[in-house]
Structure 1
Amino acid sequence: MTAFSHLTSPQVAALLAGPRAPVLLLPVGAVEPHGPHAPLGTDRLISTGMCARAADRLAGDPDLEVLVLPALNYGVTDFGAAFPGAVSIRPDTLRALVVDVCRALAGQGFERIVVVNNHFEPAHVTALRAATAEAGVAYLDLLRRANVARLTDEFRSGSCHAGQYETSLVLADRPDLVDTTAMRELPPVTVDLPAAMSAGRTDFVEMGMDRAYCGAPAGATAAEGTSTFDTLTDLLVELIREVGRG
């Protein structure tokens, strides 16, 4: 993987003048509780992992040069406010930050940008959709029905915050960050997050997630995480190729 921030200024100039079209990936996450077992930075870790894998997969592409931008670690995470470690920013702050970063890059000639997000609080997603539309860049929207259909049963169920789906992804990339002893002792917690949000519930405790997770984290495995990363990378590579063509 090539990290954009590891380049020198002359190397950036050479990239712009080179024969391959540069595509920049912007990983986005949040700092929020993910149960008693998974790290606060789970969402950013997943986004960054997808971007790294996509860049590696396309390393030999004759037409595209894919680089990963420094991640945006903070997001809108009001639902987790009752738990220590939650750090939320305002939707307008997130929107402005994404727009400013993308416009600064586009002004230099980097017009092919893909925002990659794995934090799905509604206000956060709405801010990113608005920001990417305003900046004229691509957004990999994992909540689109066609994308959801390609992911795991737990993800499709909507009961998937720090459960088997997310915990498996962390185990695949950073197993040292998962408290597997705590993970194995956690009983399944079924919460239909989309339905709870539609019903007007605005925090994890109110939704029945008094330990900041739902789903079945005890069933998480690195093997599932690796398989899911493959699917997520497929989705991202498909969008990168679309962006590269247009």
Structure 2
Amino acid sequence: MLYFAELTSPQVAGLLTAPRRPVLLLPVGAIEPHGPHAPLDTDPMISIGVCERVARRLAGHPSIRALILPPLPYGVTRYASAFPGAVHVSEDTLYAIVTDVCSSLTKQGFVDIIVVNNHFEPEHVATLRRATAAAGVGYLDLVRRANAARLTPEFQSGSCHAGQYETSLVLADRPDLVDQERMASLPPLHVDLPAAMSAGHKDFMAMGMDQAYCGSPASATAEEGEQTYAVLVEMVLELIGEV
């Protein structure tokens, strides 16, 4: 069993006295447009995919048991607001839900919690950094330089919204949700998102992303997605060791 919420209350109580240390993983993302080819829930889907692989990897571990908390699919997402489907929550809302959920669990004795996020809007990331620090829990922070350097060239380039990097991850888990004919027709589009954001641009349209993507989605493959998942899993396992 991988999911915390599928346990009964007595089973949850038993986790705290079991010989295997429980580690809870909280997948986080945002519901927002990912080009004309990838699903709105690309970000939380990737976070869930990472958490499921971590939990399976640790299934036979003698001293650690990883369980996945119900995902938090909503995040701070203003940049895609010009496109249908974006669901935005404020920084205050995100901070409150993350700190409240984590505090509720830590008060029960579940002190080993890791937030796994795959939505990188700066205000969203900053809020998660504050929330996880306040709650005293771990955070997979992929935009930190040391972590980003372990990911794909497209991710490191900063031109990676619904491009090769993210689309490959979706193809690895849910190829049925990718419009692969449309994907193959999309030309590469280089937009340095961090630079554009630093320059004060606050929406994808102003950045030249008139189809809500940048990067090279036509180059995406499920094989690359699985390779990237393997790296992301290793990062979470390292965090579990630190926690």
Query: Under a length normalisation based on structure 1, what TM-score does the superposition of the two structures give?
Result: 0.98
1:21 aligned residue: 21
1:239 aligned residue: 239
CA deviation after TM superposition for structure 1 residue 144, in Å:
1.0
Within a 5 Å distance, the mapping from 1:25-104 to structure 2 comes to: 25-104=25-104
The separation in 1 between residues aligned to 2:163 and 2:213, in whole angstroms, is: 6
Residue deviations 1:174-233 (CA, integer Å, cap 9, x gap): 000000010000001100000000001000000110000000000000011011111111
CA deviation after TM superposition for structure 1 residue 171, in Å:
0.1
1:209 aligned residue: 209
Q: Within the alignment, does 1:226 sit opposite 2:229 as a pair? A: no
Give the 3-state SS of the residue equivalent to 1:71 in structure 2. coil
1:177 aligned residue: 177
The separation in 2 between residues aligned to 1:122 and 1:92, in whole angstroms, is: 14
Give the 3-state SS of the residue equivalent to 2:65 in structure 1. strand
Q: Within the alignment, does 1:125 sit opposite 2:125 as a pair? A: yes
Aligned residues: 243
Which AA in structure 1 matches 2:240? I
The separation in 2 between residues aligned to 1:92 and 1:127, in whole angstroms, is: 8
Percent identity, aligned pairs only, is 67
- The CA RMSD measured in Å over matched residues stands at 0.6
Which AA in structure 2 matches 1:215? G
Within a 5 Å distance, the mapping from 1:150-169 to structure 2 comes to: 150-169=150-169
Which AA in structure 2 matches 1:204? F
Which AA in structure 2 matches 1:81? S
The separation in 2 between residues aligned to 1:144 and 1:77, in whole angstroms, is: 20
Which AA in structure 2 matches 1:197? M
1:110 aligned residue: 110
Give the 3-state SS of the residue equivalent to 2:16 in structure 1. helix
Which AA in structure 2 matches 1:123? E
Residue deviations 1:5-43 (CA, integer Å, cap 9, x gap): 100001001111111111100000100000000000000
The separation in 2 between residues aligned to 1:229 and 1:140, in whole angstroms, is: 13
CA deviation after TM superposition for structure 1 residue 103, in Å:
0.3
CA deviation after TM superposition for structure 1 residue 132, in Å:
0.3
Which aligned runs of 4 or more in structure 1 are off by greater than 4 angstroms? none
The separation in 1 between residues aligned to 2:102 and 2:88, in whole angstroms, is: 21
CA deviation after TM superposition for structure 1 residue 2, in Å:
1.2
Give the 3-state SS of the residue equivalent to 1:25 in structure 2. strand
The separation in 2 between residues aligned to 1:124 and 1:63, in whole angstroms, is: 33
Residue deviations 1:60-102 (CA, integer Å, cap 9, x gap): 1111111000000100000000000000000110000000000
Give the 3-state SS of the residue equivalent to 2:201 in structure 1. coil
1:2 aligned residue: 2
Which AA in structure 2 matches 1:196? A
The separation in 2 between residues aligned to 1:184 and 1:3, in whole angstroms, is: 35
Give the 3-state SS of the residue equivalent to 1:48 in structure 2. helix
